[in-house]
Amino acid sequence: MERKQFKEMSSHELLIEIKKIKTRKIVDAVIIGFSFGVMIFSAVKNGFNFFTFFPLLVVYLIVKNSKNDKILQNEIEKELEANHE
């Protein structure tokens, strides 16, 4: 599905996009917590090895993606403010 430009979207569609971003933030937080839990369990159970630190790669990718989500959210909020004026 091709993404619409924010200027072409209605206020309702922009609010839906913001809700999707907020939902992704919650899911990302759960995945990060789970990854740290797996890392700690692996360190306690098996000691430190490559697979102990592998979940950090997942955390890095999520944090990197969340920066893009924050930029998108700021752009959507600016567009919403422009629509309300």
Range list of H helices, 10-49: 11-46
The residues, any chain, with a CB within 8 Å of residue 34's CB and separated by 6 or more, are: none
In the chain, domain spans: 12-84
Greater confidence, 31 or 79? 31
State how far the Cα of 68 lies from the Cα of 62, in Å rounded to an integer: 10
Q: Are 82 and 68 a contacting pair, CB within 8 Å?
A: no
Q: Which pLDDT score, from 0 to 100, does residue 85 have?
A: 63
Q: Which pLDDT score, from 0 to 100, does residue 13 have?
A: 84
What pLDDT, in 10s, does the model give residues 3-58?
567 777 788 888 898 899 999 999 999 999 999 998 898 889 888 887 788 888 88
Q: Return the DSSP state at 73.
A: H
